[in-house]
Amino acid sequence: MMHVLFVLGVLQTAAVHADFSGEVVGVLEGDLIEVRHRQQAERIRLNGIDCPEKGQPFGTGAKQAVIALVFGKKVTLKIHGLDKYGRTIADVILPEGTNVSRQLVKDGWCWWYRKYAPHDSILETLEREAKNAKMGLWADAAPIPPWDFRRNRRGQAPEWIEMDSAPVEVMP
């Protein structure tokens, strides 16, 4: 009996994480959409990217870019798992084959999220090219990554500050 329950659990987990296609019925943020799946809207976190937050420069532009790319279209999702909030993480592929995350990075609407896609050399290259061309948010002299924006909003130090580094001694 235990073997049957284990097998059912494995099959259920596999079904939850199986690739699927559906219509995009909502765009909540630049990196968060809703796709109709089994007659319900399922929240999908775009894999490998982090877009500016609401209230952050370029946040509205990133959301509008995603609306233009995906809203009302049938997309295919290549599932990577769930994030800490229980949302599905996926590569979102348009009918003609465009990877939405890659397109957004290429157009300068978001950052390559190194923390969660550290070995994605395609996103790395696309970000570097967008930055060099000053596309989208890279037109800003000093764009603030969303992970630092969120930390600052919570009153925490940005990630680029090394909290465990030795203090610098100033000589009079």
Positions marked catalytic? 45, 53, 87
List the beta strands (DSSP E) in 38-73: 40-46, 49-50
Are 126 and 112 spatial neighbours (Cβ–Cβ below 8 Å)?
yes
- Name every residue whose Cβ is closer than 8 Å to that of residue 159 and which is 6 or more positions away in sequence: 147, 148, 151
Task: Give Cα separations from 35 to 2, 38, 46, 66, 72 (angstroms).
Answer: 35, 10, 12, 13, 9
3-state secondary structure (DSSP) of residue 48 = coil
Task: Give Cα separations from 2 to 6, 14, 16 (angstroms).
Answer: 6, 18, 21
How far apart are alpha carbons 85 and 93 in whole angstroms?
Answer: 22
How far apart are alpha carbons 87 and 14 in whole angstroms?
Answer: 15
